[in-house]
Amino acid sequence: MTSDVLAQKRILITQADEFMGPTLVSAMSAAGASVIADRLPLSDPLRVADMIRSAGHVDVLVANLAVRAPSTPAESISDDEWHDVFEALVTPLPRLVREVLPQMIQRRAGKILLIGSASPLRGMARTATYSAARGAQLAFVQAIGVEVAKHNVQVNAIAQAFVENPTYYPPEVRDNPKFKERLMREVPAQRLGTPEEDAAFAVFLASDGAGFFFGQAFPFCGGWATR
């Protein structure tokens, strides 16, 4: 993608070397944005504050958060598993929002885009912890999105699944015959989405052309969550 739809915009992307991070950095840079690619952990609340302060002016915050999804049976989910997944996926969100939101409210302009998951939109066995955390993300985005809409600040989410990325669909998963069978059986598109397709949608949501979305979670999953 080569255009200038994000020209003059400063975009901060978290976990820029994981999940959708590398493709988002590439796509948003190609679209003309000045991209701040943060690659450090967000477990420390002071670290989040320092990151936002160092970034300065932020037009768009892309909360790209990921953690390996456990596949634990419900009766075996430990407190540690629950805590660790929520600490990685959920706890950083309010920290990010409370640090970046004041400048956006003051300017009456700004966007926060969560790169989330469609997993809470359909029940999946052995994903209770991960789906619960991803569901909490979407609920947070929807609530904050309608709260700050009056300030012309947009908070939305891409709820994706079955999109190629190194965190959840590495080559050993994509090449597994059982996974290929599942893809054909469960995903109406009968293929994985490409990271470039996903990033193009993120670029659109980050652009001035997408100005009427507030507190929305957009499924991006080849029809998997809407069939």
Query: For residues 85 and 69, what is the distance between their CA atoms, to the nearest angstrom?
Result: 8
**Which pLDDT value is given to residue 1?**
46
Helices (H) and strands (E) in the chain, counts: 8, 6
**Which pLDDT value is given to residue 222?**
97
Q: In 3-state terms, what secondary structure has residue 129?
A: helix
Category of 125 on φ-ψ map: left (φ > 0), alpha (ψ -120 to 50) or beta: beta
**Which pLDDT value is given to residue 3?**
79
Half-sphere exposure of 74 (CA within 13 A, CB side): 6
DSSP state of 16: T
Q: Tens digit of pLDDT per residue, the chain (227 long)?
A: 457 999 999 999 999 999 999 999 999 999 999 999 999 999 999 999 999 999 999 999 999 999 999 999 999 999 999 999 999 999 999 999 999 999 999 999 999 999 999 999 998 899 999 999 999 999 999 999 999 999 999 999 999 999 999 999 999 999 999 999 999 999 999 999 999 999 999 999 999 999 999 999 999 999 999 87
Q: Give all domains of the chain, ordered by start, each with its CATH number.
A: 10-220 (3.40.50.720)
- Tracing tokens 């609530």 back to the chain, one arrives at 143
DSSP state of 151: G
Q: Measured over all CA atoms, what is the biggest interatomic distance in the chain, rounded to whole angstroms?
A: 52
**Which pLDDT value is given to residue 226?**
83
| 49's tokens | 């504050």
